[in-house]
Structure 1
Amino acid sequence: MAINEPSQQLNTSAGTYRKKEKRKKFLVILGFMAPALIIYGLYVVYAIGMTFYYSMFDWSGIDANFDFIGIQNYITLFQDLTFWQSLKNNTLLIAASLFTQIPLGLIMALLLFSPVKGMRLFRTVYFMPFLMSTVAIGILFIYIYDANFGLVNQLLGAVGLDSLQRGWLGNEDTAIWAVIVTICWQFAPFYMILFRAAIVGIPEELYEAADIDGATGWKRFSNITFPLLKPIIVTSAILSIIGALKYFDLIYIMTGGGPNNATDLMATYMYDQTFTNFNMGYGSTVSSMMFIIAFIVTVIIITLDNKRKADY
């Protein structure tokens, strides 16, 4: 026993030293992360918690009086036809983002690798919509869709399709689609950059091996490029869905949610309830529901992707 005592003491000292080193590293890491954690906690975690808190009250956002009403705002929300219309519009925007922006971004990224002269110019042209101010884009397309002298109606008249001319942003049936087209035009270049960066990271040896095996064109894309792009496609889908659920800018600029709430999204409806109608409690309820929907959808996508990876 006496012989083993020095070795036991040595092991204990070594274990204590390792624990101190780990604690020291943890404190150093925490020190570097502290500013970001404080900002994130204050402006994200705390803000989300307060949003759920305010949703339990009937409050204008100005008065000092808070009337606690429990879940009554949520009951009212589920009976609110305007909210369901805004959710429907958000769903349309999600579908358009997934099946328009991402495919367009992938196509443009692939075109940038084509052996055509002047690709640098095309790269700039493709990315230009994303660089433009959202306000500038909104005003530009208001004039493009104008019923009297807008470019769309002028082109339709030039090709003899006068019967299709209309006030695109003033018609309840076409306003949401006109804005969705504008949104897709603006954000497709963002996904182009993501896909281009991912394609650059694909090892050139894989394409050289494909050339040796005689695989060109579509086979190269379907067997090499597309499978290796799946992780960035999933990431793009998550960004697209979350962005579509909380989208606000162009709708507010181009239509303000009109005509007759036909283009309202959850974000614009929340803004109107909170800052126009001064109904902070109900606006917080709409905002809380936006968070819940976005969280559930994101968890589902990540779960399905993890399952796909496990099966693979």
Structure 2
Amino acid sequence: MGGKEISLEKLRQRDTRRVAALFLAPVAILMAIYVIYPIIDTFITSTYQWNGISAGKKFIGIGNWKTLLADSSFWIAFRNNLVIMVLSICIQIPIGLALATFLDFGGKKLTVFKVIWFIPLLMSSVAIGFLFTYALATNGGLVSTISGWFGGGNVDLLGNPKTALLTVIMVICWQFTPFYMVYFMAAFTNIPYDVFEAARIDGATRGQYFWKIAFPLLVPSMKSAAILSMVGSLKYFDLIYVMTGGGPGTSTELMATYMYKQSFSTFNMGYGSAVAGGMFILISMVSLITMKLLNGKEEA
């Protein structure tokens, strides 16, 4: 009997593995074709001097990578990505949490604000880029017009290297803060209502409930939101490319826009692939370090 039970158990495990493999196969195939293969091919292409069009490729080994390590424009783009990452986390998550808290405490009577505040996230980044490009135009733009009402001159926010990056960051935060608002609203629903009622019965104010009870329970969601914001910030492209094209100069240049220019503007596909590979490595490193720092205490 014991032998039969063991064999039946092994049979069940084998059938489970077969079913799991059957259901995972389509996903694995798609991942291999659209994720793993492009990454491998990018690193292979980075070892060639190639314009991306002609059939002829010249193998140069790690020549493109040596150029990348000494390329100040790439490291400026990486620095700009880090600035966007830090400011996005510091702006989007607190504001998103504040909006979610306001809506959670307000109940159904504030539903209209949910709709209004969610609108920016429904718009495409390209459309938002064009919208703010015209709104922030030096001549006739919204900011310049308001400045003129008070006797000031035209304000060039996107054409000034000192203000261009911060201006773009504000637009990014305007678009994506509603995502974190909805994210934290979902996190609030995971807190049992009995906890809120118990706190109110014990005499806690709404502020005390938030800071002493709700906020500690929301910390795991805040960590996840920070990771999402960080990864997204390191691969921005469309909105910035539409608004500034990486200019003026390199003030808003990002790794993605720099990679695009090298690959499709100057037709240096080999070096553009090296930039993409460097971007992949740096994003992976920053992501792993950040997740380690955020989850380090929990693992300990």
* Equivalent-residue separation in structure 2 for 1:90 and 1:36 (angstroms): 31
Deviation at 1:222, TM superposition (A): 1.6
2:266 is the counterpart of 1:267: no
Q: Is the 8 A contact 2:147 2:155 kept in 1?
A: no
2:282 is the counterpart of 1:309: no
Higher-Rg member (1/2): 1
Give the one of 167, 170, 192 matched to 1:178: 167
Aligned length: 300
2:102 is the counterpart of 1:111: yes
2:253 is the counterpart of 1:293: no
Q: Which residue of 1 aligns with 2:223?
A: 234
2:7 is the counterpart of 1:20: no
Amino acid at match of 2:178: P
Q: Which residue of 2 aligns with 1:65?
A: 56
Q: Is the 8 A contact 2:120 2:176 kept in 1?
A: yes
Give the one of 145, 152, 163 matched to 2:136: 145
Deviation at 1:118, TM superposition (A): 4.3
Deviation at 1:166, TM superposition (A): 2.3
* Equivalent-residue separation in structure 2 for 1:147 and 1:302 (angstroms): 41
Query: What's the TM-score, normalizing by structure 2?
Result: 0.95
Amino acid at match of 1:240: S
Q: Is the 8 A contact 2:49 2:268 kept in 1?
A: yes
Q: Which residue of 2 aligns with 1:94?
A: 85
Q: Which residue of 1 aligns with 2:44?
A: 53
* Equivalent-residue separation in structure 1 for 2:274 and 2:211 (angstroms): 45
Q: Which residue of 2 aligns with 1:250?
A: 239
Mean alpha-carbon deviation: is it higher for 294-303 or for 145-154?
294-303
Deviation at 1:253, TM superposition (A): 0.9
Q: Which residue of 2 aligns with 1:220?
A: 209
Question: Per-residue CA shift, 1:228-275, capped at 9, x if unaligned?
Answer: 111111111111111111110111111111222321110000001011
Amino acid at match of 2:277: S
Secondary structure of the residue aligned to 2:130 is helix
For the aligned residues, what is the CA RMSD?
A: 1.6
* Equivalent-residue separation in structure 1 for 2:289 and 2:120 (angstroms): 31
Matches within 5 A, 1:127-146: 127-146=118-137
Percent sequence identity over aligned pairs: 46
Question: Per-residue CA shift, 1:29-51, capped at 9, x if unaligned?
Answer: 11112111111111111111111
* Equivalent-residue separation in structure 2 for 1:194 and 1:116 (angstroms): 17
Mean alpha-carbon deviation: is it higher for 26-35 or for 124-133?
26-35
Q: Is the 8 A contact 2:143 2:155 kept in 1?
A: no
Q: Which residue of 2 aligns with 1:7?
A: none
2:198 is the counterpart of 1:201: no
* Equivalent-residue separation in structure 1 for 2:224 and 2:29 (angstroms): 26
Query: What's the TM-score, normalizing by structure 1?
Result: 0.91
* Equivalent-residue separation in structure 1 for 2:220 and 2:211 (angstroms): 15
Structure 1's unaligned 5+ residue stretches are 1-9
Q: Is the 8 A contact 2:245 2:257 kept in 1?
A: yes
2:67 is the counterpart of 1:76: yes
Deviation at 1:115, TM superposition (A): 3.0
Q: Is the 8 A contact 2:158 2:244 kept in 1?
A: yes
Give the one of 33, 38, 47 matched to 1:42: 33
Deviation at 1:117, TM superposition (A): 7.5
